[in-house]
Amino acid sequence: MTPTETRIGLRISGEVKAFQRVPLGVEGLDEIIGGGIPAGDILLVSGMPGSGRTTLAFQFLYYGCTKYGDPGIFVAVDEKPDSVRSRMSHFGWNVASLERKGALIFADAYARVAKVPSIEEREVAVDDVVAFLTDLFAYVEEIAAHRVVIDSVSTLLAIWGSNEGERRSAASQLCASLRETGLTTLMTAEALPGRISRFGIEEYVADDVIVLHSVKSADGLSTRRMMEIVKLKGYAHPLTMVPYRIEHGRGIVVVPPRAAREELLRERIERIRRRIRGF
């Protein structure tokens, strides 16, 4: 692909090679999906509250910088950048050092969403899609970003449209402009019971979709975190759910299918033992 210019004026140099993969930086997951998602794609990561969406999104940028040399932008929509910074630093990730180098930056859309003053160097307007992208693309140019996170797109769609038609049109415009740039984007979405996303639009406009589930055990006494790869456009991928954990120092870690089966077996043996012992 040759350098392109979008409708609202972003010009990014460099080439996006067809079939090039962008690793997500999630242990166990990149192996399952053949090395990563296709370069230039828009990946939607959806899940219920506390499922790990922000962690996975941040990890995509953090390891993008530290392992693959890709500068990235985290657009904080649902919470203050400072709150994301401190939570991610608690994982043991050196967020401050990447920010100092200008390899990873936070853009504050939350202030405009919540109508509160921002303490951040970089703000993003949320009035409409064009205003949002104009600010975002200025930051993309500033650090020559390759990766972008929008956390979450569901909140933006709620602002950009008061009915399904308006929201769909805004979502399509957002994704079309992002695709033109060649950036690889991860957007998060809010899932609702029995639905992948809040508006039922987010998963259709994205190229790739991963859903983070919380699955109750048969006895209802415990839950397991399970990841579902719903769509990976143009590529084969497993249709089964894969277990994942959220760990200090590593973030989201996908348990390889064989290890997962062994873990399940150990849990079953333990449950039977407890039943036999009577507690």
Ligand X SMILES: Nc1ncnc2c1ncn2[C@@H]1O[C@H](COP(=O)(O)OP(=O)(O)OP(=O)(O)O)[C@@H](O)[C@H]1O
In the list ligand X, Mg ion, none, the entry touching 112 (Cβ below 5 to 8 angstroms by class) is none
Residues at the interface with ligand X (CB under 6 A)? 47, 49-55, 90-91, 246-248
Our CB check for ligand X shows the closer of 40 and 52 to be 52
In the complex, minimum distance from the CB of residue 149 to Mg ion, in angstroms, rounded to a whole number = 11
Which of the stretches 12-20, 46-54, 202-210, 232-240 binds Mg ion when contact is defined by CB under 5 A?
46-54
Tokens (6 digits) for 53: 């969406």
Task: Quickly list H helices, 14-128.
Answer: 29-32, 53-68, 81-90, 95-101, 110-114
Taking only Cα atoms into account, the Rg of the chain, rounded to an integer number of angstroms, comes to: 19
Tokens (6 digits) for 28: 């166990």
Our CB check for Mg ion shows the closer of 53 and 225 to be 53
Our CB check for ligand X shows the closer of 54 and 173 to be 54
List strand residue ranges (DSSP E) for 89-153, in order.
Answer: 104-108, 147-151
Our CB check for Mg ion shows the closer of 193 and 278 to be 193
Our CB check for ligand X shows the closer of 52 and 243 to be 52
In the complex, minimum distance from the CB of residue 171 to ligand X, in angstroms, rounded to a whole number = 20
The answer to the question of residue 54 lying near Mg ion (CB under 5 A) is yes
In the complex, minimum distance from the CB of residue 162 to ligand X, in angstroms, rounded to a whole number = 24
Alpha-carbon gap, residue 77 to 156, rounded angstroms: 8
The answer to whether residues 43 and 185 touch, using CB atoms and an 8 Å cutoff, is yes
Alpha-carbon gap, residue 41 to 37, rounded angstroms: 7
The count of residues interacting with Mg ion (CB under 5 A) is 2
Our CB check for Mg ion shows the closer of 84 and 145 to be 84
In the complex, minimum distance from the CB of residue 248 to ligand X, in angstroms, rounded to a whole number = 4
Our CB check for Mg ion shows the closer of 37 and 150 to be 150
- Three-point CA angle 64, 70, 75, nearest 5°: 75
Tokens (6 digits) for 207: 């190229």
In the list Mg ion, ligand X, none, the entry touching 173 (Cβ below 5 to 8 angstroms by class) is none
What mask of x and - would describe binding to Mg ion in positions 217 to 246, judged by CB under 5 A?
Answer: ------------------------------
The answer to whether residues 23 and 68 touch, using CB atoms and an 8 Å cutoff, is yes
Distance of CA 25 to the CA centre of its chain: 11
Question: Are β-strands 104-108 and 241-247 bridged in parallel, bridged antiparallel, or unpaired?
Answer: unpaired
Count of residues in the chain: 279
In the complex, minimum distance from the CB of residue 52 to ligand X, in angstroms, rounded to a whole number = 4
Write out the H or E segment, with its range, that includes residue 75: strand 72-76
Which of the stretches 1-9, 20-28, 53-61, 216-224 binds Mg ion when contact is defined by CB under 5 A?
53-61
List of residues contacting Mg ion (CB under 5 A): 53-54
